[in-house]
């Protein structure tokens, strides 16, 4: 899977979460996997940034690091410039997290804006997710059995490990 594939996967996950009809949409983690992608509701997701950091540190250790998942996504509902929106943030091993959003109204989800790199000082509570995937071994031989990395335009291991979503 390449980074753009992760973006598409996370956007599809956001659409799925919105289509379920629950409002506000529950904060949801996207955990890509070899056989299937998991959408995990972040039950009890705190309001306070420090508590969110601790919550996601535990989540990252249990779901990403323990299972050696080299990518992640988060889908949340938030107000952006006075508009109700669905915000999607996604990251992968050695790739800076990116952010996109789409307006949400009674008719459903609007179009997502172009993704952009997440400012390192924004949403610091997401750092444990990125730290967990960045700490994973780079070499496929050091990972559990499964496909290895693709060679991207930046050389070997520039892409993400290949997963069937």
Q: State yes or no: pLDDT of 156 exceeds 60.
A: no
In a domain, 147, yes or no: no
Residue 162: inside a domain: no
Residue 156 belongs to a domain: no
48 found inside a domain: yes
Range of the domain at 39: 3-142
Asked whether residue 61 is domain-assigned, the answer is: yes
Residue 10 belongs to a domain: yes
* Count of domains observed in the chain: 1
Distance CA 106, CA 17 (A): 15
Domain presence at residue 158: no
Q: Which residues contact 86 (CB under 8 A, 6 or more apart)?
A: 14, 17, 18, 25, 75, 76, 77, 101, 102, 104, 109
pLDDT digits (tens, 9 = 90+) for 98-142: 999 999 998 899 999 999 999 999 999 999 999 999 999 875 554
| Mean of pLDDT values over 83-112 | 96
Tell me how crowded residue 14 is: count the other CB atoms within 10 A of its CB: 28
């Amino acid at each position: 899977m390449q980074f753009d594939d992760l973006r598409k996967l996370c956007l599809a996950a956001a659409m799925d979460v919105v289509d379920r009809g629950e409002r506000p949409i529950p904060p949801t983690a996207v955990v890509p996997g070899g056989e299937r992608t998991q959408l995990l509701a972040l039950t009890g997701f705190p309001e306070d940034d420090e508590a969110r950091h601790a919550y996601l540190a535990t989540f990252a250790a249990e779901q990403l690091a323990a299972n050696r998942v080299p990518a992640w996504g988060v889908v949340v509902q938030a107000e952006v410039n006075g508009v109700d929106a669905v915000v999607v943030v996604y990251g992968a091993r050695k790739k800076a997290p990116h952010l996109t959003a789409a307006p949400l109204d009674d008719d459903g989800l609007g179009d997502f804006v172009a993704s952009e790199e997440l400012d390192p000082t924004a949403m610091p509570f997401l750092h444990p997710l990125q730290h967990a995937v960045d700490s994973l071994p780079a070499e496929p031989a050091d990972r559990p059995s499964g496909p290895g990395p693709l060679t991207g335009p930046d050389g070997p291991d520039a892409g993400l490990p290949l997963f069937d979503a």
